[in-house]
C-alpha cells in the first residue's frame, strides 16, 4: 500500500470524532456509546521496537472512562490481505506501549497499567482468515502450563465483510469501496446524512477536505489518484457528479450559513485547524519548522489549502515552510 494512502488514513483517524464513532459502532459496550469527544486525548505513538527501531505509523488515543484512562491502539498498517501473525504483532506493539507508559510514569492512580483496546482495520476483498487471538497460533500447552500462556486478542474491523453499521467510519468505508455508480451515490447519501448531525459539526469541514484529497475530482471520469493494490481494482467512472454533490452538501450548507452570518473568519480557522492536525501527525517526535505557527496564523484560505495538499502529496514540513 502506498505511503500516501497510509498517511491519508492516519489523518482521518487523527480526529477524536472518528475514533469515538468507531468505538460506538463496533464495540459492544454501553460506555462506548456514551463517550463525549472531549473524553479523548491523542497520545504519542513512537515506541522503540526490535533493535531500537522506532514505530511512527500507529495511532494511539486514550479516553477517560470511570476516572481512569483506557487506551485505544489503532494499527494503521491497513491490511490488504490477512496477516497470519497479526495477533503476535499486536502482543509486541502493546508490550512496547506498556513499556513506554512505565518509563514515562503514566500509570493509573493505583500504579497499574491501563486497559488497551487493539484495533486492526482490514480493507481486503477476501474475508479475514488470520487468528484474532494469540492462543490460536500456539500449540496446546501441556497440563499445568495453560495458565501461563499469552492470550492477546485484537478487534478486527473488516471494511467489506463486517456487516451494516450506521457510524461514520463504516459509512465512509462503504462510500470509498463502492463498485458501481448507484452504490456510490447511495453510500454518499447515507454519509451525507450522518455528517449533517450535530455531533459531526467539528469534523465536517475536515472530513470533506479529506475526501477531496483522497478522491480525485468532481467528474464522472475520475479514478482514485493514489496507488491501488491488487485487492482494490481501479474504479473508473464510478464517482459521478451526483456522488460529489451528495458528499459536499453538508459542508456547502454550513458555508452558506457562514456567509449569511459573515463568518468567513470561522471558515479560515477551520482550515488552520485542519493544517495543524496534518502537521501534528507528521511531526510526532520531531521539531516544528521555524516560525511555522506565525505563517499559519497569517495565511488565507487558498494558502492554507495549498499547504495541506503539499503535505498530503508527500512534501515534508520543512520543505513546505522553508524560509524565503
Strand partners, 48: 54
Q: Which three cell numbers stand for residue 230?
A: 491488487
Q: Are 280 and 14 contacting, i.e. CB atoms less than 8 angstroms apart?
A: yes
Distance between CA atoms of 296 and 274, rounded to whole angstroms?
A: 11
| φ, ψ for residue 34, nearest 5 deg | -105, 0
Per-residue pLDDT, 132 = 93
> Burial code of 242-277, b = ≥16 C-beta within 10 A, e = fewer?
ebbebbbbbbeebbeeeeeeeeeeebeebbbebbeb
Per-residue pLDDT, 136 = 94
Q: Torsion angle, CA of 10/64/171/275, rounded to 10 degrees?
A: -40
Per-residue pLDDT, 220 = 34
Per-residue pLDDT, 84 = 92
pTM: 0.65
- Positions in the chain whose pLDDT score sits under 50: 1, 217-237, 262-263, 324
Per-residue pLDDT, 153 = 92
Amino acid at each position: 500500500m502506498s505511503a500516501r494512502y497510509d498517511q491519508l488514513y492516519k489523518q482521518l483517524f487523527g480526529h477524536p470524532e472518528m475514533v469515538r464513532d468507531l468505538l460506538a459502532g463496533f464495540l459492544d459496550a454501553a460506555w462506548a456509546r456514551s463517550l463525549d469527544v472531549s473524553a479523548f486525548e491523542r497520545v504519542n505513538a513512537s515506541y522503540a521496537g526490535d533493535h531500537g527501531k522506532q514505530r511512527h505509523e500507529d495511532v494511539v488515543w486514550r479516553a477517560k472512562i470511570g476516572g481512569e484512562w483506557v487506551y485505544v491502539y489503532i494499527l494503521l498498517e491497513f491490511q490488504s490481505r490477512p496477516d497470519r501473525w497479526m495477533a503476535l504483532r499486536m502482543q509486541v506493539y502493546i508490550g512496547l506501549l506498556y513499556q513506554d507508559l512505565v518509563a514515562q510514569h503514566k500509570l493509573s492512580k493505583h500504579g497499574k497499567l491501563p486497559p488497551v483496546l487493539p484495533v486492526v482495520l482490514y480493507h481486503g476483498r477476501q474475508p479475514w482468515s488470520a487468528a484474532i487471538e494469540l492462543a490460536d497460533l500456539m500449540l496446546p500447552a501441556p497440563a499445568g502450563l495453560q495458565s501461563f500462556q499469552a492470550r492477546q486478542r485484537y478487534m478486527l474491523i473488516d471494511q467489506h465483510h463486517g456487516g451494516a453499521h450506521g457510524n461514520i467510519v463504516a459509512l465512509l468505508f462503504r462510500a470509498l469501496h463502492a463498485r458501481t455508480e448507484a452504490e456510490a451515490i447511495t453510500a454518499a447519501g447515507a454519509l451525507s446524512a450522518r455528517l449533517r448531525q450535530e455531533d459531526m459539526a467539528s469534523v465536517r469541514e475536515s472530513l470533506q477536505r479529506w475526501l477531496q484529497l483522497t478522491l480525485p475530482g468532481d467528474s464522472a471520469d475520475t479514478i482514485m489518484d493514489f496507488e491501488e493494490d491488487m485487492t482494490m481494482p481501479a474504479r473508473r467512472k464510478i464517482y459521478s457528479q451526483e456522488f460529489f454533490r451528495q458528499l459536499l452538501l453538508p459542508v456547502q450548507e454550513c458555508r452558506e450559513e457562514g456567509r449569511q452570518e459573515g463568518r468567513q473568519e470561522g471558515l479560515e480557522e477551520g482550515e488552520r485547524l485542519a493544517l495543524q492536525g496534518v502537521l501534528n501527525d507528521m511531526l510526532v517526535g520531531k521539531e516544528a519548522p521555524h516560525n511555522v505557527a506565525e505563517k499559519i496564523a497569517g495565511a488565507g484560505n487558498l494558502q492554507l489549502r495549498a499547504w495541506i495538499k503539499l503535505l498530503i502529496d508527500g512534501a515534508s514540513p520543512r520543505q513546505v515552510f522553508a524560509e524565503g
